[in-house]
Every structure is written in C-alpha cells, then in structure tokens.
Amino acid sequence: STFSPLFFSCLGFVLLCFTGCPGGWTQYGTRCFYFYNYQTEWVDAERNCIALGANLASFHSHSEYIFLKNLVRAARGSWDRTWVGGYDAVKEGVWLWSDGSNFNYCQWGSGEPNNQGGAEHCMEINLKGEHSQTASFYRNRHLKNDFLSFFICAKNA
C-alpha cells in the first residue's frame, strides 16, 4: 500500500508541533535556554534545571557566550551576574560542564579563576556587571550557601 500526500503533510505538521523549545524558552542553535529571574545558590540552580530536564547552561563558542549575555540583558535590563554550568569541584583547576559536554571554550576574566579562599568552584558570567561584547568574564564561586546569582538552564531542542 502507498501513503497519500495528505498523510505526509499531516505527519510533517505533527513533527513541527513537537520540535523547538517549550514556551518561555529561547532557542539558539540546537538548544533551548531559560533565564531564571530569581537568585539562588549554584547547587540549587542546577537542581532546578534538572527538574526541567535541563542543566545549567554550557557554552562552546564566543557567539554562544554572547547569546547568554544578551539573554540576561533582555530579561533584566542589565548585565547581572548569572550562574552557568561550569565547575571544578571534582578536581581543582579541572573545569567541567554540568551537562557533561566538553569544556572546550574558555576566555577567563583577568585574574580568574583564582580559587579565592580555596573554595571557589562554580562559574558565573557578567562578573562586575561587564557589558563588553568582546571580553568574557567568568567567576568561580562557592558551591555552598554564601552566594546567590540568577541562572540560565539549557537543554536540547
């Protein structure tokens, strides 16, 4: 038996409905991103992302980094400090992404990472409210309960 063109048209429509990002998420490339407009600790931010089938955002190019900065700017109207998924809590100085992807892009801000006080293990963007599109600033902060930031979740589209 053969399938009618109508069948393939309907199938295409159904597939279109199930691709892309959920409401409130923003697509960039093959992933969906969601900016949380409240502040929490890094571990709780990751936990919130996991509950949505996501992880804290990773980035693998300058253009992805700029997209994340702009996502924060669009939501907050400023360059607020925001958690992303980078961490080195497993082994000091060996940075990983919480989503398990390769840590293959990095342009640390001046003096970072410095593991200040021997307890900075998480990454945030927009350190010092940095608004430059050419400079990438990250800051590794404590995994534990002394620092709150906004955060961005990411998952595949």
Chain segment 42-58, per-residue pLDDT in tens: 999 999 999 999 999 99
Full domain range(s) for residue 148: 26-105+118-156
Write down the pLDDT at residue 37: 96
The answer to the question of residue 62 being in a domain is yes
List the pLDDT tens digit at each of the 157 positions of the chain: 565 555 444 444 444 445 699 999 999 999 999 999 999 999 999 999 999 999 999 999 989 999 999 999 999 999 888 999 999 888 988 999 999 999 998 877 777 787 877 777 888 888 766 555 544 556 555 555 468 899 999 999 9
The answer to the question of residue 59 being in a domain is yes
Write down the pLDDT at residue 16: 46
The answer to the question of residue 92 being in a domain is yes
CATH code of the domain containing 137:
3.10.100.10
Q: What is the rounded average pLDDT for all residues in the chain?
A: 82
Write down the pLDDT at residue 11: 47
Write down the pLDDT at residue 40: 94
The answer to the question of residue 3 being in a domain is no
CA gyration radius, the chain: 18
The answer to the question of residue 20 being in a domain is no
Bridge partners, residue 122, by sequence = 87, 141
The answer to the question of residue 10 being in a domain is no
For residue 105 the two structure tokens come to 């892009």
* 135 φ/ψ angles, rounded to the nearest 5 degrees: -105, 135
Is 0.85 surpassed by the pTM of this model? no
- For residue 104, count CB atoms less than 10 angstroms from its CB and return exposed for 0-12, middle for 13-18, buried for 19 or more: exposed
Tally of domains within the chain = 1
The answer to the question of residue 131 being in a domain is yes
For residue 98 the two structure tokens come to 């919480």
Write down the pLDDT at residue 136: 53
The answer to the question of residue 15 being in a domain is no
Angle 86-89-91 from CA coordinates, rounded to 5°: 110
